[in-house]
């Protein structure tokens, strides 16, 4: 039985971060991955293929839009096989960075097979091998939730794990679920030429986002996608012509929709089944592994990271968790995980950027002492020049300018809002962003102009403003 300082189960973002970091410190590391390649869901089924698809769809959409404006014809059908090839090329390029060979060179032993705890220190691999870990990390990711819909398993449906294998564009696509996956892929397929209908069980979109961001995105999406709100899918059927039918109940009515493809995007659940957690003493709640603020499970030498935890199922959060686990598990530190500064982006067009508290949450937590600073993109010169002024920037602070939350809707908002993540994480106030010199004209001016509002109010609306006014009158 081979012994390791650290055994990592799961070769996604969190697991790879742990394995690479631990090996760099000189630890003897084993990495166990059930798939035939490293990289996890993000590389093969999530972040990378979806963004490659979204970019292709965006280029097609804006090219056709421009052709109408300037009078040339680009209204033909998209070669979807070329789009699929481009997506696969992106995966293959990044796969080289996450290859087993690269990790072997780092000194990591890579085992392919399903890893299962056999006691609290042993990991049994599906090929029959058993390895021993002084410390163990579980980072096995998540999988799509398949709702309890009558005859769902009788129909060939798509999930984020299979949709990127398509080589032919479905003429019509029904999307079950309006979370980030459903909205991002629904818009992308619509732009590539599919007729898309999204079925949402609730009356609203993006319920975790700041309320002022949602109207911009909803209005944009409704121009491209048909939505059914307050709707529940009761049944799916396979039709004789090869198409599928979805039976939906909405407002006490029953509707039958037909489509060439069905994408199930109804959420995700952690991959914690059959891992032997109970036998090892690792406790879970609704399938999610319970950890303390140092990312230890109920068995202190076993840690967990990534989608097997409940609150922040993002690749960048898993990487952050992985770094904390390396320092705690190998160096004996007691670093605590802090999600207060973890942003996320929904990659629709316009994008939605989210950091910290929404205005509603800030009011509930801090009462009337909050300040809201916001600028529409129609007030920002670069967006005006781009002829793309759909969106808003909102920053929520306390009375002293400490950043409580920041939100934006707009084209590529996830890129030009990064400055405020640094500011919030390192304790800077919103006024500090105002004093930074930004090149003109850039999209980041939207954030700078929002920060400028803080100083305007501070200087001209409060006590300081009154003193300045009297001083200037006296000086003149």
Total domains present in the chain: 3
Domain extent, residue 187, equals 152-266
User: Which among 388, 157, 403, 376 has a CA at the least distance from the CA of 264?
Assistant: 157
**CATH number for position 318:** 3.50.50.60
The CA–CA distances, whole Å, from 389 to 5, 61, 234, 350, 438 equal: 54, 17, 40, 10, 20
Q: Which residue has the tokens 């968790």?
A: 321
Q: Do 472 and 459 touch, CB atoms closer than 8 A?
A: no
Contact 10, 140 (CB under 8 A): yes
**Phi and psi for 198 in degrees, rounded to 5?**
-110, 130
**Ranges of H-type helices in 336-438:** 359-366, 381-386, 413-416, 418-425, 430-435
pLDDT score for 98: 86
Whether residue 128 is found in the same domain as residue 273: yes
In a shared domain, residues 11 and 106:
yes
Domain match, 96 and 85 both? yes
> Whose structure tokens read 């699929």?
84
d(CA 292, CA 288): 13
**Which residue ranges in the chain fall short of pLDDT 50?**
none
The pLDDT value recorded for residue 70 is: 63
Residues 275 and 257 in one domain: no
Unique residue bearing structure tokens 């922040």:
312
Q: Are residues 238 and 364 in the same domain?
A: no
CA 444 to chain centre: 22
Give the distance from CA 195 to its chain's centroid. 25
Same domain, residue pair 161 and 262? yes
Report the pLDDT value the prediction gives residue 107, as an integer from 0 to 100.
Answer: 95
Q: Quick check: pTM over 0.85?
A: yes
Q: What does the pLDDT read at residue 97?
A: 84
In a shared domain, residues 287 and 251: no
């Amino acid at each position: 039985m081979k012994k390791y300082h650290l055994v990592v189960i799961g070769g996604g973002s969190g697991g790879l971060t742990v394995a690479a970091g631990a090996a760099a410190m000189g630890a003897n590391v084993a990495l166990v991955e059930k798939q035939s390649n490293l990289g996890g869901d993000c590389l093969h089924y999530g972040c990378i293929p979806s963004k490659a698809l979204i970019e292709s769809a965006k280029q097609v959409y804006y090219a056709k839009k421009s052709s109408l404006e300037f009078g040339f014809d680009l209204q033909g059908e998209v070669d979807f096989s070329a789009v699929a090839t481009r997506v696969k090329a992106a995966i293959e390029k990044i796969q080289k960075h996450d290859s087993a060979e690269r990790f072997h060179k780092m000194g990591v032993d890579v085992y392919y097979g399903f890893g299962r705890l056999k006691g609290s220190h042993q990991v049994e691999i599906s090929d029959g091998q058993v390895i021993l870990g002084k410390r163990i990390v579980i980072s096995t990711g998540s999988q799509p939730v398949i709702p309890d819909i009558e005859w769902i398993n009788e129909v060939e449906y798509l999930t984020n794990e299979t949709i990127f294998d398509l080589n032919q564009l479905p003429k019509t696509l029904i999307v079950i679920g309006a979370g980030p996956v459903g909205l991002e892929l629904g818009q992308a397929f619509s732009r590539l030429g599919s007729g898309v209908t999204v079925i949402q069980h609730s009356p609203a979109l993006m319920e975790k986002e700041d309320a002022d961001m949602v109207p911009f995105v909803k209005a944009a999406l409704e121009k491209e996608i048909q939505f059914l709100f307050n709707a529940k899918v009761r049944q799916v059927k396979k039709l004789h012509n090869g198409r599928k039918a979805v039976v939906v109940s909405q407002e006490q009515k029953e509707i039958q929709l037909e489509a060439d493809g069905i994408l199930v995007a109804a959420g995700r659940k952690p991959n914690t089944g059959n891992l032997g957690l109970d036998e090892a003493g690792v406790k879970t709640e609704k399938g999610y592994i319970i950890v303390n603020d140092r990312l230890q499970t109920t068995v202190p030498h076993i840690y967990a990271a990534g989608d097997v935890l409940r609150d922040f199922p993002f690749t960048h959060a898993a990487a952050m968790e992985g770094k904390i686990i390396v320092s705690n598990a190998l160096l004996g530190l007691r670093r605590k995980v802090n999600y207060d500064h973890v942003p996320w982006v929904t990659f629709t067009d316009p994008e939605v950027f989210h950091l910290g508290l929404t205005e509603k949450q800030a009011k509930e937590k801090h009462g009337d002492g909050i300040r809201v600073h916001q600028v529409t993109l129609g007030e920002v010169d670069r967006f005006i020049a781009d002829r793309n002024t759909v969106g808003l920037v909102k920053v929520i602070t306390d009375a002293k300018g400490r950043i409580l939350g920041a939100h934006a809707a707009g084209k590529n908002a996830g890129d030009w809002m990064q400055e405020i993540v640094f500011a919030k994480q390192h304790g800077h106030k919103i006024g500090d962003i105002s004093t930074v010199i930004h090149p003109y004209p850039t999209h980041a001016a939207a954030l700078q102009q929002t920060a400028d509002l803080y100083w305007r109010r501070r200087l001209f609306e409060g006590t300081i403003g009154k003193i300045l006014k009297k001083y200037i009158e006296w000086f003149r």
